Amino acid sequence: MLTVAKKPARVFDGEALRRLRTEQELTQAELAERVGVHVVNLSQYERGKVVPSFDVACRLADALGVDVAVFRKGE
């Protein structure tokens, strides 16, 4: 029997994003500007409400000086 997932798997770790941003003493507005996204979207990424595209995840990683793999949540 085939079962269909009701929600897509969430593999982006928004808590890691928030931790890295605050460790670098950046505001959401500052990081959003560096990455080229709206601050509302950045807030949603951190809270796990929205999963960023791979391109945006890579830009976040670059802006924070980390490998994009740090945002991968355990499955």
Q: Read off the pTM.
A: 0.84
Task: Return d(Cα 22, Cα 39) in angstroms, integer.
Answer: 15
**Is residue 29 very low, low, confident or very high in pLDDT (cuts 50, 70, 90)?**
very high
The CA-atom distances, in angstroms, between 49 and each of 12, 25, 27, 66 are 10, 23, 19, 22
Q: Does domain 14-71 have CATH number 1.10.510.10?
A: no
Q: What is the pLDDT of residues 35-75, one digit of tens each?
A: 999 999 999 999 999 999 999 999 999 999 999 999 998 65
Reply yes or no on whether the pLDDT at 28 is more than 80: yes
Please report, for the chain, the start and end positions of each structural domain, with discontinuous segments joined by +: 14-71
Average pLDDT over residues 6-33: 90
> What pLDDT is recorded for position 1?
56
